[in-house]
Amino acid sequence: MTNIVITGASGRMGRALIEATLEIDGAVLSGATVRPSSTLVGADAGELVSQGHRGAPIHSDLNLFGTLHPVVIDFTTIEATLEHLQWCLENAVPCVIGTTGFSEAQEAVIAEAAKAIPVVYAPNFSVGVNVVFDLLDRASRVFGDSVDIEVLEAHHRHKLDAPSGTALAMGRVVANALDRDLSQVAVFGREGQTGARPREQIGFATVRAGDVVGEHTVLFAAEGERVEITHKASSRRTFANGAVRAAIWASEQSPGLYSMRDVLGL
């Protein structure tokens, strides 16, 4: 059994992770954390998701879980995630990171930590999305330079980063398959007299509205036809289930930087 601690328990994703950990075989919810100012400090994580007392305390300090040697699952904010990762490094425990929007320098910090502990870092923990990554690689290689490629994504109004980490990951899959440098060919939104579209561009369009959990489409458009590969999430549980699966997997791994594709064996 894998002891798991969830950070950011009061958030929408935190609650989904708590529910998933309580319900998935092989996982044990050891506890959760919130900000020191939260009224949830001292509560039970099971009660937070209406599953009754489960002996999983909510604290504001990860140090209170150190003796359990848990796997930490973190879907919080960039700054908080890096702090939690440092704690995992100091306590030699695995970390599963679902936070997105890191800079290259911050990703380098994650990679450095992974030299000492197992770290699963992925833009999306949905099994379906990771299958889509494989489909995108295949489609890109088949179409080659014969199509225009656009990445369209939509999320709820509270999401902090844009484009989403998943959209950027999809763009990287496409760019790598076509031997393009995404940093050179990506276009994030268009406005005004932009001129004709160069074929090598990979465009990104972002929607933030309402309670959309997550929708991603990659459009391959040629003269006379187009192909769309789409993934739509209707519940955060799909991400939470994948993250808990990754945590159980990470508990048995040696130090290294892993993705959800590694967890799934893709």
- Residue 57 DSSP label: B
Superfamily (CATH H level) for 2-121+236-264: NAD(P)-binding Rossmann-like Domain (3.40.50.720)
Provide mean pLDDT across the span 168-179: 97
CA 14 to chain centre: 13
**Whole-angstrom distance, CA of residue 123 vs CA of residue 132:** 13
Flag whether pLDDT at 192 surpasses 80: yes
Which of 59, 84, 155, 216 is flagged as catalytic? 155
CATH class of 127-233: alpha beta
Report, as an integer, the average pLDDT of 136-164.
Answer: 96
Respond yes or no: is residue 155 known to be catalytic: yes
Cβ pair 110, 119 in contact under 8 A: yes
Domain ranges of the chain: 2-121+236-264, 127-233
Q: What 3-state class would DSSP assign to 20?
A: helix
The distance in angstroms from the start CA to the end CA of the chain is 24
Of 47-56, 102-111, 138-147, 180-189, the range with the lowest mean pLDDT is: 47-56
Nearest to 212 by CA among 166, 148, 247: 166
Query: Fold identical between 2-121+236-264 and 127-233?
Result: no
Per-residue pLDDT reduced to its tens digit, 19-34: 999 999 999 999 999 9
Write the pLDDT tens digit of every residue in 76-131. 999 999 999 999 999 999 999 999 889 999 999 999 999 999 999 998 999 999 99
Please give the Cα distance from 164 to 160 (Å, whole number): 9
Asked if 171 and 224 count as a contact pair (C-beta separation under 8 A), the reply is no
For all residues of the chain together, what is the average pLDDT?
Answer: 95
Q: What are phi and psi of 45, to 5 degrees?
A: -65, -30
Radius of gyration of the chain (CA): 20
Give the per-residue pLDDT at 51: 80
- What pLDDT, on a 0 to 100 scale, did the predictor assign at position 150? 98
pLDDT (0 to 100) of residue 174: 98
- Alpha-carbon distances, residue 148 vs 181, 216, 219 (angstroms): 16, 17, 8
Q: What are phi and psi of 207, to 5 degrees?
A: -120, 135
Q: Answer whether 0.75 is exceeded by the pTM.
A: yes
The answer to whether the beta carbons of residues 6 and 14 sit under 8 Å apart is yes
Annotated catalytic residue within 53, 84, 158, 159: 159
